[in-house]
Chain A
Amino acid sequence: MRRKRQRTQSDVELNLAAMLDMAFQLLTFFILTFKPAPIEGQVLLRMPPPQPVTNIAGEKAGADPQNTNPVQGLSTLVVSALANADGSLKQMAVGETPIGGLTALERKLEDILRDPGSGFDQVIVQVDSRLHYGPLMQVIDVCTRQKLPSGEPLSKLSFVELPTAN
């Protein structure tokens, strides 16, 4: 019995206090630097510089001298977004047609893009310079939810800044 106790006492014991100190320091560092990232989403867009093009791949509008109709053959749909003085959305238009709200815009775009003969594959959004990013994203949201006649989602957008209307 006595012999056994002597053997136990001679066992090497690790001093865990130092390791615990270090572990607590590491823990403190991680707690202090911890900042949970907000759950964000994103709208992926392919944005070439704004340039109306014809259905002929890559050809600039007006490049065909035989075409007397300046709109014919364009594959670019123009959506306009006007703003109030406080930066909120005032009115929209698709081409020359005024649109009251976002729901109407969605319906109009669906009607246009559903038509297999429409040929549109990109949208130019003419944006009032005062329009805030929030309402603009709502317009972009409506546009990017649309499907092209080919079935692909519309992701080719360009922006043109409209001068402030006084």
Chain B
Amino acid sequence: MSSSLLHAASAQPNLTPILDMVFQLITFFMLVINFKTAAMDLDLKLPVVGSARPVDTQGQDDLLILNINSHGQLRVYGQLVSDVPHYIANEAQASLLVARRNNPQIKSGDELPSTVVIRADKGTPFTMLNHVIETCQTNGYRRFALKAMNKEETP
């Protein structure tokens, strides 16, 4: 009898419910995690435009995401790009190689099927923005997506 009581006092807690809960939380975070945000500079203050539509890649995954801050500096994956023309030319070359998988006829200088996603701060002067756009156009990019917020962000 006393042995049985001692055994009951040293009973281990049932960890199964807490494990269930933790796994549910892990599943939630795994589903909502979005590694594409790493390409975005979240410090930028995008302009607010009413007609900006939600992002729809239409099955197209080849995107060139360019973050331009208010000083006109280009940031990609958090890194400052000093030589913008060189960087865009390299990306265009990579896009061309990807495009050749679907269309072997495509040549250097042809229109690239990739989309340039421009995320610029609302205080970026046009001259700096235009420098990036012109460089992209020179390298064959024609499709652009200018990012904006649908509504003002609440702090």
Contact = CB atoms under 8 A, between A and B. Distances in A.
A141 B137 contact: no
A134 interface: yes
Given A17-B15, A30-B26, A34-B32, A40 B125 contact: no
A41 B150 contact: yes
A16 B42 contact: no
A133 B121 contact: yes
A17 B22 CA distance: 12
Nearest to B36: A37
A20 interface: yes
B16 A161 contact: no
Contacts of A39: 54, 149-150
Interface in B33-60: 33-34, 36-37, 40, 42, 46-47, 49-55
A109 B30 CA distance: 47
Contacts, number: 153
Interface in B43-86: 46-47, 49-55, 68
A87 B25 CA distance: 47
Given A16-B16, A35-B37, A145-B51, A137 B126 contact: no
A43 interface: yes
Contacts of B47: 133-134, 137-138
Contact of A127 (B123, B126, B144, B153): B126
B124 interface: yes
Interface stretch (B87-95, B101-109, B127-135): B127-135
Interface string A150-166: 00000000010100000
B149 A130 contact: no
A159 B120 CA distance: 16
Given A23-B19, A27-B26, A42 B52 contact: yes
| A-B pairs, 9 with minimum CB distance | A41-B52, A134-B122, A30-B29, A129-B127, A134-B47, A16-B15, A42-B145, A23-B22, A133-B124
Interface of B: 15-16, 18-19, 22-23, 25-26, 29-30, 32-34, 36-37, 40, 42, 46-47, 49-55, 68, 115, 117, 119-127, 129-130, 133-134, 137-138, 142-150, 153
6 contacts: A23-B19, A27-B25, A40-B52, A40-B148, A41-B148, A141-B50
Given A27-B22, A35-B37, 16 more contacts: A27-B26, A34-B29, A37-B34, A37-B36, A37-B37, A40-B52, A40-B119, A42-B52, A42-B147, A44-B53, A128-B126, A130-B126, A131-B125, A132-B124, A133-B125, A133-B129
